Structure 1
Amino acid sequence: MKLSRRDALVALGAMGVGAGGVGVLRERAAESEEAMTDVLLAAAEVVYPSAVTPTREFVSAYAVGRRRFDADAERFERAVADLDRRARHDTGQSFASLSLARRRDVFRSLGADRAHANHGGTTAERVRYYVVDDLLYALFASPTGGELVGCENPPGHPGGTDAYQRGPEA
């Protein structure tokens, strides 16, 4: 199951980013957005179910939208940077350049795999809130991700006429 840019835009819509804000996503991403996308794509490969293939276009569209239109953008960016900084401290390499197993180890050493999400908490709690939980929200708020849990028509996605013409057994 491959995630698309459209899935990211639907997830952003579910967060409350309006159509006017989504249009700005067409602009070319800055270098810092590229670096953030690299870290988030690598993180998505760790936290997403194996049935899902996160794509650069999905993660980039979601991250850029989140960064540009969210009041918590600074904390979001800091959490992503903290994850990368921890990887560099522990391994001497960027988070995105690590193998899948090493990325899992970084999440564990940081404590993000067992921390309670808290936007203003410790580094582990912020990484859990802004990286892990945000990526999972983006996945399951999209039509493609919703299929994994039997909800092909998540909130914020109109679904078309077929969605309301099917019975509850569908």
Structure 2
Amino acid sequence: MTVFFYTERLTVRKFTPDDCDDLADILTDDEVTYFEPYATFTREACVQEAVNFSQSDEFFAVVYNGKVIGKIYFSRRGGGSYEIGYTFNKAYQGQGFASESIKGMMNYAFDTLGVRRIIANIDTRNVKSVNLAERVGMRREAEHKELYPRKEDKSIFNDFYVYAILKKEFVY
């Protein structure tokens, strides 16, 4: 199993196919996946998704006491920029795990991967994610009006914020 980094309480590592049950605890929750660009998963679909994540270089498992409690999406966008996204099990939200792991990911990206800039695209209605981005030191750079259609009503288009942080701005 490939471990990328540790924080005070967490291990961030590559997903394995055996993570399917913990992943299902996250991806089958309508409330947790509401702002995600994909539909809420069935438990059965999480078996294949765990395999997909285990074969991807863009998804990182956030582990607390042996349980996957979150996932971080980290994808190259060109020019030394990467996009970050995150989804956490509802039972572990509000305890600082997301900000701890995201700051750890940023530190790993800037120091180990040589990343220059990290961005996050966040639905303006997703207050928890906006607060997290600001808590980890990202700044709002832009607002895209009516960018993506809403899941439950494709005739309504949601606004998105672009948050970013440069390596030279990052404080761990």
Which has the bigger relative contact order, CA under 8 A and spacing at least 6?
A: 1
Q: What TM-score comes out, normalization by structure 2 length?
A: 0.29
TM-score (ref. length: structure 1): 0.29
Whose radius of gyration is greater, 1 or 2?
1
More strand by share: 2
- Structure richer in helix, relative to its length: 1
